[in-house]
Amino acid sequence: MPGAQPRRDAVPVPGPPPPRKSSARTRARAAVVLWAAAGLVAAGSLAGCEYTYEEGWRPPESVPAPAFTDQSFPNDLIRNEPVTEAELEGWVEEELPFTARQVVHTGSGILAEGEIKSDVAAGLAVGTYALALVCRSQRRVTFTVRDDASTLVDLSLRCGSTRETVIYLSKESALSIRVEPRSLANYAYRLTLL
């Protein structure tokens, strides 16, 4: 039938493919142009981000900058020289000042290199405690605190700073405290109930 419409379920007859509207070469050129345009936009936006140092935040060159001091790192090495037996009590009071908490156990002294001090805080009730540790020496001092079952504190303390550690005891127990310096040292510790 000359004027009849083709059936919808008819299978197309293979033949030449329909003409493409753009070739692969044209698409490649368009991609290159887009990449170049994106690069120019990025370069232009970064060129506008110039940083200048004349914003007034820097003090004039004639004014010296303030010296930085950090309390945990003493800047006077003589301050880490151990004190004598006569000065020990004053040093302990300075490093571990008065506290309103109930003090349960304290200890302090002078130890030579390689000497070990062991102490026991017995009969501690269930509760939360704060253990303050401090030393004075040119080298580190190792503090080890154990209860009946495990090690609670194993710390190589840099002298000149005070470290306070919170300890929770779930049953009545005793704490063994061991202090071991690497050179001549003063040490002090204080256990308080929180």
Nearest to 145 by CA among 161, 124, 129, 131: 131
Question: What pLDDT digit, counting tens, does each position of 132-162 carry?
Answer: 999 999 999 999 999 988 999 999 988 888 8
The DSSP H or E segment spanning 23 is none
pLDDT at 98: 87
Which has the higher per-residue pLDDT, 154 or 30?
154
Using DSSP, state whether 28 is helix, strand or coil: helix
pLDDT at 180: 95
Using DSSP, state whether 45 is helix, strand or coil: helix
Token pair 């000497």 is found at: 115
- Asked whether residue 19 carries a pLDDT value surpassing 70, the answer given is no
Q: Tell me the whole-structure pTM to 2 decimals.
A: 0.59
Structural domains of the chain in order of their starting residue, each with its CATH number = 78-193 (2.60.120.380)
Using DSSP, state whether 170 is helix, strand or coil: coil
Q: Which residues contact 159 (CB under 8 A, 6 or more apart)?
A: 80, 134, 135, 136, 137, 138, 139, 140, 141, 185
